[in-house]
Chains A and B, each alone.
Chain A
Amino acid sequence: MTRTHRRMHRLVWTVLGIAVALGLAMALALRPAPAAPLVSASLPPAPAEARS
Chain B
Amino acid sequence: MSVGFRAVQWNRDKLIYDAVLLAVVAAFIVSFIAIEAHLHPPKDGPAWIDLRIRAFGLCAFLMLTAILSIGPLARLSPRFLPLLYNRRHFGVLTFVIAALHASFMVEWYAVQNTLPNIVTELTTWTDYGRFIGFPFKALGLGALLILLLLASTSHDYWLQFLSPPVWKALHMLVYGAYGLAVMHVALGAMQSNRHPAIPVLLAASLCLVAGLHLVAGWRERGCHRRRAGADGWIAVGPPDSIPDKCARIVNAPGGERIAVFRDGDRVGAVTNLCAHQNGPLGEGRIIDGCITCPWHGYQYRLDDGCAPPPFTERLATYRVRIARGIVEVDPRALAPGTPAAISISS
Bound: A17/B183 CA distance, A: 12
Chain A positions 1-52 with a Cβ under 8 Å from a chain B Cβ = 1-5, 8-10, 12-13, 16-17, 19-21, 23-24, 26-28, 30-32, 34
The answer to whether A26 touches B131 (Cβ under 8 A) is: yes
**Interface residues of B, dominant DSSP:** helix
In the assembled complex, the Cα of A24 lies from the Cα of B256 at a distance in Å of: 37
Interface: B270 (CB within 8 A):
no
Bitwise, B135-177 to A at CB < 8 A (1) or not (0) is 0000000000000000000000000000001001100100110
Task: Decide if A17 touches B206 in the complex (CB within 8 Å).
Answer: yes
User: Beyond A13-B210, A20-B182, A24-B186, is A2–B172 a contact (Cβ under 8 Å)?
Assistant: no
Smallest distance from the beta carbon of B52 to chain A beta carbons, Å? 25
B residues adjacent to A (C-beta < 8 A): 131-132, 165, 168-169, 172, 175-176, 178-179, 182-183, 186-187, 190-191, 194, 199, 202-203, 206, 209-210, 213, 217, 255-257, 273, 278, 280
Of the A-B pairs whose beta carbons lie under 8 Å apart in the complex, a sample of 26, sorted by A's number, is A1-B273, A1-B278, A2-B165, A2-B168, A3-B257, A4-B165, A5-B165, A5-B169, A5-B172, A8-B172, A10-B217, A12-B175, A13-B213, A16-B179, A17-B213, A19-B179, A20-B183, A21-B206, A21-B210, A23-B183, A24-B182, A24-B199, A27-B186, A28-B186, A28-B190, A30-B132
